[in-house]
Amino acid sequence: MKALQRNNVKVFGSGEETLVFAHGYGCDQSMWRHVTPAFEDKYKIVLFDYVGSGLSEVSEFDRNRYSTLRGYGQDINEILDELELKNVHFVGHSVSSMIGALAFLERPDLFKTITMIGPSACYINSDDYVGGFDRADIEGLLQTLESNHVAWSATMAPVIMGYPPNSEFSNELEASFCRMDPFLANHFAKVTFLSDNRADLVGITVKTLVLQCQHDAIAGMVVGEYVHKCLPNSQFVVLDATGHCPHISSPKEVVRELQAFLQQ
């Protein structure tokens, strides 16, 4: 199956340069709807869903291919090849920051810039590295997700969004979590939260923007600063925003900083 069908790719907008937006765990391409209108007059926009998310072809799930984040990165490169695109501006939220980085390592010719929103190269604390979670915390989180997907979604959505339960933003994220197939949600969560891509950061030589929220329970300030310090060609910006999903809760902040970055 072609990647364009497998990943439910949508292309719109106009312009000689291309912006590719990649969603985070438990989300889909609709999460970018508050950001893309600001760019579609000057850029071609590419949106897609990872296999298992949104309206992707779930039948295309391959446990071996998607056993690491590199499999998802391979999907990105296949999408760009099928669209005959190079030198794109890639914008990745959360886990897509590392997926985009891995895609760049495989095919640097496809990328002109990368923007990482709330990135983490490793969620688990080890020695003098602070990832934000102990190994037991992550294992407990994954066990809860596996045993009760609905309850996990209701509990974690407010934590991730940084907004109270039953708020507009928390409800949207909870609904997005619940739309995922429980098995695929659990699989993607394991790959996401157990990955360690710290050693890959030094190879990300492309111009990169790291966008960090002030209060992020998933990827805190120290995590974003670590990613920035390890990337040889990066800029670090702290948004006036709370939570892990500023493109949903504070899209104007994301738009402003992304526009400034792209115009440099």
Q: Could you read off the pLDDT of 120-155 as tens digits, one per residue?
A: 999 999 999 999 999 999 999 999 999 999 999 999
Residue 179, classified by CB atoms within 10 Å of its CB into exposed (0-12), middle (13-18) or buried (19+), is middle
226-245 residue pLDDT tens? 999 999 999 999 999 999 99
216 is an active site residue: yes
pLDDT band at 83; cut points 50, 70, 90:
very high
Chain mean position to CA 256: 19
Q: Give the C-alpha separation, 208 to 261, whole Å.
A: 9
109 is an active site residue: no
> Which residue range forms the structural domain that includes residue 216?
3-122+198-262
Cα dihedral across residues 6, 175, 131, 262: positive or negative: positive
Position 186 scores a pLDDT of 97
64-78 residue pLDDT tens? 999 999 999 999 999
Note whether residue 9 is domain-resident.
yes
18-77 residue pLDDT tens? 999 999 999 999 999 999 999 999 999 999 999 999 999 999 999 999 999 999 999 999
Note whether residue 41 is domain-resident.
yes
159-215 residue pLDDT tens? 999 999 999 999 999 999 999 999 999 999 999 999 999 999 999 999 999 999 999
Note whether residue 110 is domain-resident.
yes
Position 205 scores a pLDDT of 98
Flag whether the pTM goes above 0.95: yes
Position 17 scores a pLDDT of 98
Among the listed residues 53, 56, 94, 120, the single catalytic one is: 94
Note whether residue 127 is domain-resident.
no
Q: Give the C-alpha separation, 186 to 41, whole Å.
A: 38
Note whether residue 90 is domain-resident.
yes
Can you tell me which residue has the tokens 């499999």?
71
Note whether residue 163 is domain-resident.
no
pLDDT band at 225; cut points 50, 70, 90:
very high
247 is an active site residue: no
Question: What's the per-residue H, E or C state across the chain?
Answer: CCHHHHCCCEEEECCCEEEEEECCCCCCHHHHCCCHHHCCCCEEEEECCCCCCCCCCHHHCCCCHHHCHHHHHHHHHHHHHHCCCCCEEEEEECHHHHHHHHHHHHCHHHEEEEEEECCCCECECECCECCCECHHHHHHHHHHHHHCHHHHHHHHHHHHHCCCCCCHHHHHHHHHHHHCCHHHHHHHHHHHHHCECHHHHHHCCCEEEEEEEEECCCCCHHHHHHHHHHCCCEEEEEEEEECCCHHHHCHHHHHHHHHHHHCC
Among the listed residues 216, 228, 249, 250, the single catalytic one is: 216
- The average confidence (pLDDT) of the chain is 97
Q: Are 229 and 198 in contact (CB under 8 A)?
A: no
The CB density around residue 107, as the number of other CB atoms within 10 Å, is: 16
Position 55 scores a pLDDT of 97
Position 119 scores a pLDDT of 98
Note whether residue 235 is domain-resident.
yes
Q: Cα angle vertex 137, ends 123, 239, to 5°?
A: 45
Burial of 223-248, coded b for 16+ CB within 10 Å and e otherwise, reads bbebbbeebeebbbbebebbbbbbbb
Among the listed residues 23, 89, 93, 244, the single catalytic one is: 244
Q: How many domains does the chain have?
A: 1
Note whether residue 73 is domain-resident.
yes
CATH at 61: 3.40.50.1820
Position 79 scores a pLDDT of 98
Position 102 scores a pLDDT of 98
